[in-house]
């Protein structure tokens, strides 16, 4: 395919992000709704901490696209209520690498693609896909991880057992 980067027909980053979000919404409305929460909440965290506008916008985009790799997962698994089998969970874990592989082909800042790859890593090395820890995890990925967990529970995922939790608790207070 011809590279249109230097022509008027080239997609801007914002247009590419908007297109990806629309495709995600067509395939899995829950994931699209979740990603909206993640992007907005991640940006709000960055604003509160005092990061610059560029960092905030990169987090917004990273949150909007953090689960784009779920395109490789059958919808029946994404919407399955209850516990996943080990095989299904392994497939779910592959979404971060798939998302990274998709996004690295687009002219996005490397901070965004790295955050998408690392947003399920944990400080104690218990995360995935690369089991990295502490400072090896980017600040953007750490913030996305927080926003992802809060968004997961707030939206009420079919995979979450917390959809009916007490709305007066600390997670709800964070969103106020």
**pLDDT (tens digit per residue) in 139-160:** 999 999 999 988 655 544 444 4
Q: How far apart (Å, rounded) are the C-alpha atoms in residues 131 and 135? A: 12
Residue 99 has pLDDT above 90, yes or no: yes
129: confidence class by pLDDT, cuts 50, 70, 90: very high
pLDDT score of 8: 59
11: confidence class by pLDDT, cuts 50, 70, 90: low
Q: For domain 13-175, is the CATH number 1.10.3210.10?
A: yes
pLDDT score of 9: 57
Q: Are 144 and 117 in contact (CB under 8 A)?
A: no
Residue 65 has pLDDT above 80, yes or no: yes
Write the CB contacts of 129 (distance below 8 Å, at least 6 apart in sequence).
93, 94, 96, 97, 117, 120
């Amino acid at each position: 395919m011809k590279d249109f980067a230097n022509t008027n027909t080239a997609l801007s980053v914002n247009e590419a992000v908007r297109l990806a979000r629309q495709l995600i919404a067509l395939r899995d409305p829950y994931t699209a709704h979740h990603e909206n929460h993640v992007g907005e909440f991640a940006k709000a965290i960055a604003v509160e901490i005092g990061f610059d506008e560029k960092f905030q916008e990169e987090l917004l985009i990273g949150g909007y696209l953090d689960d784009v790799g779920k395109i490789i997962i059958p919808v029946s698994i994404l919407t399955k209520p209850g516990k996943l089998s080990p095989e299904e969970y392994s497939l779910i874990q592959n979404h971060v690498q798939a998302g990274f592989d998709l996004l690295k082909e687009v002219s996005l800042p490397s901070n965004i693609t790295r955050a998408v790859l690392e947003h399920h890593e944990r400080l104690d090395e218990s995360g995935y896909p690369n089991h990295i820890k502490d400072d090896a995890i980017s600040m953007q990925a750490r913030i996305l991880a927080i926003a992802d967990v809060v968004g997961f529970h707030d939206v009420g995922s079919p995979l979450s057992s917390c959809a009916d939790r007490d709305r007066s608790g600390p997670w709800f207070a964070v969103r106020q």
